[in-house]
Structure 1
Amino acid sequence: MDMRSMLILAVLLALIREDKGQKPTVSLRPKFPQVYIGDDVTLICNRKGGSKPTTWFIDDKQQSHQDYSMFLTAVTPKNNGVYKCVQDKLMSDPLILTVLELEPHAQLSPSVGGAVMIKGEGRNLVLQAEDDLKNWTCSVLRGVSRFGLGVNVDEQMKRAVIFAELKEAERATFWCQKKNFSRSNTVTLKMTEHVVMLVPPAVPALQGESVDLRCVVWGGSKLEKAVFYKDNTKIINSPEGTYTIVNATQDDNGKYSCRATYRFSHTSAGAALKEGDSDAQELKVIGGPAAAIISGSTKSLQCSCPRCPDNCMSCHWYYTLFNDPHSRRRLPENDQSITAEEEGLYSCRFDCGKGLSRFSDSYSYKAQPAEFGGLLYILLGVAALIILMGVIVWMLKRRKCGGSNVQVTGRGIPCFWSWHRRSEDTPCQRASRHH
């Protein structure tokens, strides 16, 4: 064996020995400094030499999951714990996952649509934050690789738009952040190659709220009917293609799918009926952070948060146009009471330091007809008072003329003109003296 071959062999042996002694590492993707309730995150167990058969432990309890990556959807404090993994009989150091029961400082949401897209499709995501969006960046996690995205900022509307696409990934998680501190929630989009799609919301379903599951047929076909299934069990027929869970609870968790009957009537009036099944999509209902409560009477609004932590002291107010849910802007007031000035939707929430409470329900303020009516009544009352005073003055003047409506003097002059001549005797007075 020549010197070159011996050198290569020595290097390979050193690498093998190094690889065998290298412990695996559990890492969090995306690398968030804070994990908020409702986030989608991925834990990766990896060591030098690539992925291996993996055993996972949470709080020292072995898990059935064996892939080197673990995707956690809509995390809650129930996901808190110490995560470890084992590869080649080597155990990693622990990673402690702590989920805050708060919302992040910015919101990311689809402009239209839900969590499922057809292969090759794209969608706009809208970012809303309380400060200048120029310093915000947005990213996507496809698999275990992170990519930066272009951000189109609308300074006037105080929002930004990113274009979300999956490329070749089956699933991708999108988020935006500012200098590794303030960030938005995560939005996970999933790819399907089926013509029929079961589309859940792109943001976590919250307990007690209404959740719409839609059965959609790609390509502009006419939906005749849809049948919805939960965990492969039929639950409802829907001619409209929508299944609404009115008051969502954790009993509604599960995998949902639909079977659609449809026809491509836009291509031919006599197009034949077709049927197709969707992929199964997971629905996870979570409790969510504490929500602020808004109350009011006409223009006077109050905000409270009985379930918020004690450190939630500052109140934030927001105004949204009636016809544009993405136009929300923060108002300058920080008190728990404000007066509505413009017609629109008002909401509030509390600042808790590392995050915020959930938004309150929106309060719809319109200029009340009763307010205009009240002003009208006041104006009519003032006018009536002026008229009454005029009548009283006229009656007093009439009494000075002797009590009759019109007295004719000897010269034929009506005596109600007499008050115009106060500096001298009136015709009435002269006539009475003659009599």
Structure 2
Amino acid sequence: MHCLLGSIAILSLFSYVKSQDPTPLPVRARADVTSGEARLFSGEDVTLSCSVPDHPETEWKFLWFRNGVPLSVQTQNLSLKNIPVQKGGNYSCRGEKDIDIWPYSLMTMTSEPLAVHVDGGWTLLQIPTEPLLIEEKMTLTCRIRGDPLLVEVIFYKDSVEVQKRKDKDLVIPRLVLKDEGLYRCRATWVQSTEHHSAQSLSAYLPVLDKLNTPVLELDFDYCSLKGDKVVLSCKTQLNVREEGLSIEYFFLKNGKRQGPGSSSATFTIFNVEDDDGGDYSCKARVRALNLERHSESVKLEVCNFPED
């Protein structure tokens, strides 16, 4: 009896301590460029910084990784000075801190990788570090090592000439989805009275829709048996700078809406009958932005096996 009471007391204490966890996990760290550029020439400097956006307490300790391999640096800022080509790669970080109660230490999830491209050539195309959204402004910069006198720059997208100019910047004031692609530039310049020309390496520029086209998925491979439960999932993603926006989901059968919209991305048919068969689709809507996207239809078939 005493052992049982002791076990209950320990379990109660364990549950209480867990409930006092001051930082709900998972929390993901974030790696950013705070000085310099993520695409730079060899010999230049760049500084990366690690943060925990949801919990910016100063007691965090930070660990850095390059291509998944731990680095010896354990400070919030990672300074890469006079960087050689070999130091390019995907940099990520993780936050850790000690606490006084269980589990006595907290660890964030590792940040998304931050690509640092170090170019050993003469011409470099700089693109935005993060993906851009439709309707946003984009600037691409064709840099020349040492910034000599520029004569001409030609920009290419998917190997097709886009623009020829005497300016190092290509500006697209309002992006559309078809602006996504592989960009490069060729620069001509004068140095010591001689003309020189060089081409940059290609860089991929992603352009995101504000609301991805949803995909409707059913939780079975072929057909559903009568009486089964079927779950339909409407999968999409909201890509916006604003905070606090939500997605409203609608499910349709043969073009007719099945009930009101809701915040749930799933629709469940609990006891499938023959008349539940049909073509299903879903719609995702963000009222605040007047945005909506429709999925392709998926056929729900109800199987009827012959009785013995």
Tell me, in whole angstroms, the C-alpha distance in 1 between the residues paired with 2:41 and 2:179.
25
Counterpart in the other structure of 2:207: 285
Alpha-carbon distance between aligned partners in 2 of 1:199 and 1:186, rounded to the nearest angstrom: 18
For residue 167 of structure 2, what is the aligned residue in structure 1?
Answer: 240
Contact residue 290 and residue 305 of structure 1 kept, 8 A: no
**Structure 2: which amino acid aligns with 1:163?**
S
Aligned equivalents of 2:87 and 2:177: distance in 1? 26
Which residue of the other structure, out of 144, 148, 161, is the alignment partner of 2:71? 148
CA gap 1:199/1:185 in 2 versus in 1, 3 angstroms:
same
The answer to whether the Cα contact below 8 Å between 1:227 and 1:237 also exists between their aligned partners in 2 is yes
Report the alpha carbon displacement of residue 236 of structure 1 after superposing the two structures with TM. Answer: 0.6
Secondary structure (helix, strand or coil) at the match of 2:194 reads coil
Instruction: Tell me, yes or no, if the aligned pair for 1:189 and 1:202 is still in contact at 8 Å.
Output: no
* Aligned pairs (5 A) from 1:121-136: 121-129=44-52, 130-136=55-61
1:163 match: 79
Matches within 5 A, 1:80-95: none
Shift in Å at residue 163 of structure 1? Answer: 1.6
Q: What are the ranges of 5 or more consecutive residues in structure 2 without an aligned counterpart?
A: 1-24, 97-106, 211-237, 249-261, 265-308
Tell me whether 1:203 sits opposite 2:130 in the alignment. Answer: yes
CA contact (8 A) 1:140 1:172 kept: no
Residues 164 and 133 of structure 1, relative CA distance in 2, 3 Å threshold: farther
> Which of 33, 45, 49 does residue 110 from structure 1 map onto?
33
Higher helix share: 1
Q: Distance in 2 between matches of 1:236 and 1:245?
A: 11
Whichever residue aligns with residue 121 of structure 2, its letter is H
- What are the superposed Cα offsets for residues 207-240 of structure 1, whole Å, 9 maximum, x if unpaired? 3322221100012323233110112110012322
How far, CA to CA, are the matches of 2:72 and 2:166 in structure 1?
A: 39
Q: Is the 8 A contact 1:106 1:183 kept in 2?
A: yes
Q: Residue 125 of structure 2 aligns to which amino acid in structure 1?
A: L
Note if contact 1:175-1:183 (Cα within 8 Å) is conserved in structure 2. Answer: yes
| TM-aligned CA deviation for residue 242 of structure 1 | 0.9
Any gaps of 5 or more consecutive residues in structure 1?
Answer: 1-32, 35-103, 153-159, 294-302, 312-435
Letter in 1 for 2:56: D
State the 1:175 CA deviation: 2.0
1:319-334 correspondence runs (5 A): none
Q: Does 1:191 align with 2:118?
A: yes
Structure 1 residues 161 and 242, CA, compared in 2 at 3 Å: closer, same or farther? same
Match of 1:305 in 2: 245
Matched, 1:226 2:143: no
Structure 2 residue aligned with 1:212: 139
CA spacing shift, 1:198–1:248, aligned 2, 3 Å: same
AA paired with 1:123? V
**Given that residues 105 and 184 in structure 1 are in contact (C-alpha distance below 8 angstroms), is that contact kept between their aligned partners in structure 2?**
yes
CA distance in 1, matches of 2:95, 2:42: 31
CA positional deviation for 1:123: 0.7
Partner deviation per Cα, 1:315-362 (whole Å, 9 max, x = no partner): xxxxxxxxxxxxxxxxxxxxxxxxxxxxxxxxxxxxxxxxxxxxxxxx
Describe the shift of the 1:206–1:146 C-alpha distance in structure 2 as closer, same or farther (beyond 3 A): farther
The structure with the largest strand share of the pair is 2
- Asked if 1 retains the 8 angstrom alpha-carbon contact of 2:28 and 2:108, the reply is no
Q: Secondary structure at the match of 2:178?
A: helix
**Structure 1 residues 119 and 108, CA, compared in 2 at 3 Å: closer, same or farther?**
same
What is the alpha-carbon distance in structure 2 between the residues aligned to residue 254 and residue 170 of structure 1? 26
Structure number, greater radius of gyration: 1
1:363-400 per-position Cα deviation (integer Å, ceiling 9, x unaligned)? xxxxxxxxxxxxxxxxxxxxxxxxxxxxxxxxxxxxxx
Shift of 1:262: 1.7
The percentage of aligned residue pairs carrying the same residue is: 18
CA contact (8 A) 2:140 2:170 kept: yes
| Offset at residue 282 of structure 1 (A) | 1.4
Q: Is the 8 A contact 2:50 2:94 kept in 1?
A: no
| Cα distance in 2 between the residues matched to 1:211 and 1:106 | 27
**Post-superposition shift, 1:147?**
2.6
CA shift for structure 1 position 183 = 4.9
Confirm or deny: 8 A CA contact 1:205 1:286 kept in the other structure. yes
Higher relative contact order (CA 8 A, sep 6+): 2
